[in-house]
Amino acid sequence: MQTSISPPDTPMTVRLIVNEEPITVDVLPQAVLLDVLREQLQLGGTKKGCDHGQCGACTVHVDGRAMNACLRLAVMCEGQSITTIEGLARKGKLHPVQEAFLVHDAYQCGYCSPGQIMSAVALLEDPNAATDDAAIREAMSGNLCRCGAYRNIQAAIADARRHLESQASREGDHL
């Protein structure tokens, strides 16, 4: 039986839904999602920090779950829905977590902010996740901030959590 093996520089076509838009993109088999987003799709909001799964700067949502885009091969994302920081705002309105980061000055250089925000949104939108202060600290421990803005980041996420809780309760009242 003859087996044909593609050389590593043969691109493969992958279908993705990126920020709610279906796209097809030709990627090398070894290309990671982070590089495809930044270099092929020009979505530079997702940052490259360590490139080794250690810093969280590259966090995106894959089918609603926060993941390090530097650790995920793009070809593994066939048919999946990817949300980046560019796709978080809705109808021109920032997500409450983005708003809270602005209100609380939860950044200095801002390099880690997209990853911090994407992790926080995934946490606060997960109905099964605990979101007390200790749980937030634990869930955010994979997102490093070299500027040490942790105190304000924590405050921003706690504030966004209260906002989302009160929004959910208002919506519940109208059912």
Residues lying near ligand FES in the complex (CB under 6 A) = 48-51, 53-58, 68, 70, 107-112, 145-147, 149
**In this complex, which beta carbon is closest to ligand FES, that of residue 23 or of residue 50?**
50
| Closest distance of CB 58 from ligand FES, Å | 3
**In this complex, which beta carbon is closest to ligand FES, that of residue 45 or of residue 175?**
45
Element (H, E) at 91: none
**In this complex, which beta carbon is closest to ligand FES, that of residue 38 or of residue 95?**
38
End-to-end CA, the chain: 63
Helix (H, G, I), strand (E, B) or coil at 158: helix
Helix (H, G, I), strand (E, B) or coil at 144: coil
| Closest distance of CB 170 from ligand FES, Å | 32
Contact between 106 and 156 under an 8 Å Cβ cutoff? The reply is yes
| Closest distance of CB 105 from ligand FES, Å | 10
Q: Is the dihedral of CA 39, 62, 54, 122 positive or negative?
A: positive
**In this complex, which beta carbon is closest to ligand FES, that of residue 121 or of residue 145?**
145
